[in-house]
Copies of this chain bind each other. A is one copy, B any other.
Amino acid sequence: MNALFKALNDPTRREILELLQQRDMTAGEIVDHFTISGPSISHHLDLLKQAGLVSAEKEGQYIYYSLNTTVVDEIMKWFLQFKTKKK
């Protein structure tokens, strides 16, 4: 839960998630969407991966990143506890 919220607490990382929602992308393609350096994006991708929000698959010299929606279920369940009526 901690790694999850930590990963979500950055505009760039949230934007990466939205990019990957549209289609899988290589690290380089993701980098091209931002003005931030490659190493910085790589670091963001690492945090997203640690949180289980994305997964990476090597294909030749490229690494394809894709969204992992199962974790989203988990986090939505956490939020739902606040929507249950209290007396």
Binding site for B on A (CB under 8 A): 1-2, 5-6, 8-11, 14, 17-18, 21-23, 67, 69, 72-73, 75-76, 79-83, 86-87
Give every chain B residue within 8 A of A76 (Cβ-Cβ): 76, 79-80
Nearest Cβ on chain B to A44's Cβ, whole angstroms:
14
Given pairs A5-B5, A8-B8, 17 additional interface contacts (CB within 8 A): A5-B8, A5-B9, A5-B14, A17-B82, A21-B81, A21-B82, A22-B86, A23-B86, A23-B87, A67-B82, A69-B82, A69-B83, A72-B79, A72-B82, A73-B83, A75-B79, A76-B79
What is the bound-complex CA distance between A73 and B76, given in angstroms?
10
